[in-house]
């Protein structure tokens, strides 16, 4: 490998890491008294199965006593920074993941599933970047910056548009969750146990509807993973 390629490879590998270190130091300088709590939440966000649905409300809870409604913006911004840095590193170094023992299996699985769906759906190809942003916005396990960037690179999408899609999707989804979390906290402070009852009822309804829909799909097609891998009949 030529020396210039080695330098570029090292730059691509370490520069996003350098940006992450700058972010951590900035976090410590701006929020020294909250640094441990914020650092713990952001670290847990990187560890499955934690995701936006749990870590964004945690950030809102930490920020809200001091910043009020503005805590929603801060929480969304911090999650977006994490997703963007992860996507940035993945976009530049995705080809190295095949050498990582655990991740290489994940990469192959994503590659086989995504390419099959990509070939079948023209709409998915036409609105690829918007779909990528929506994928990041929806708080499902594995829908963060890493998987989205990996999908984008496997489909040979423009690397900078991938990062932009991840950033927009991450902020949009995180901000909506943050708003919901903030007003849930506000409702609890105002109405106490009645607010908890309303939230519990809402969650139960959502779970019941989800299980009902999923049950209907399972009766028709089996589980979703089997449906994805099902071969079309000629």
> How confident is the model at residue 229, as a pLDDT?
43
Contact yes or no for 60/72 (Cβ under 8 A): yes
Residues 6+ apart with CB under 8 A from 121: none
Same-domain check for residues 221 and 143? no
Same-domain check for residues 98 and 208? no
Same-domain check for residues 132 and 75? yes
| CA proximity to 211, closest of 203, 51, 135, 198 | 203
Q: Reduced to 3 states, what is the DSSP secondary structure of residue 158?
A: coil
Total count of domains within the chain: 2
pTM over 0.85, yes/no: no
Based on its alpha-carbon atoms, the radius of gyration of the chain, rounded to whole angstroms, reads: 20
> How confident is the model at residue 231, as a pLDDT?
44
Same-domain check for residues 163 and 233? no
Range of the domain at 219: 192-234
Same-domain check for residues 156 and 98? yes
Same-domain check for residues 66 and 31? yes
Same-domain check for residues 155 and 207? no
Q: What is the pLDDT of residues 195-208, one digit of tens each?
A: 555 556 556 666 66
Same-domain check for residues 222 and 168? no
Mean pLDDT, rounded, for 87-110: 85
- What is the rounded CA–CA span in Å between residue 160 and residue 180? 31
Q: What is the pLDDT of residues 119-146, one digit of tens each?
A: 565 655 667 788 888 888 877 655 578 8
Same-domain check for residues 51 and 92? yes
């Amino acid at each position: 490998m030529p020396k210039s390629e080695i330098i570029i490879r090292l730059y691509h590998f370490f520069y996003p890491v350098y940006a992450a270190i700058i972010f951590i130091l900035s976090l410590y300088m701006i929020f020294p008294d909250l640094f441990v709590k914020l650092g713990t939440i952001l670290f847990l966000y990187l560890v499955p199965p934690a995701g936006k649905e749990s870590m964004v409300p945690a950030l809102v809870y930490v920020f809200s006593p001091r910043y009020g409604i503005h805590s929603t913006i801060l929480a969304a911004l911090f999650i977006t920074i994490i997703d963007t840095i992860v996507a940035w590193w993945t976009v530049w170094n995705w080809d190295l993941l095949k050498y990582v023992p655990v991740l290489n299996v994940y990469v192959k699985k994503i590659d086989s599933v995504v390419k099959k769906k990509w070939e079948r759906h023209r709409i998915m190809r036409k609105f690829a970047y918007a779909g990528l942003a929506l994928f990041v916005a929806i708080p499902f396990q594995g829908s963060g910056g890493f998987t989205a960037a990996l999908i984008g690179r496997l489909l040979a999408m423009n690397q900078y548009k991938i990062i932009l899609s991840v950033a927009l999707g991450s902020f949009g989804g995180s901000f909506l969750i943050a708003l919901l979390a903030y007003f849930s906290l506000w409702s609890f402070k105002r109405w106490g146990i009645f607010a908890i009852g309303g939230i519990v009822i809402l969650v139960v309804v959502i779970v019941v509807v989800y299980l009902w829909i999923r049950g209907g799909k399972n009766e028709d097609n089996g589980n979703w993973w089997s449906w994805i891998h099902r071969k079309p009949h000629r």
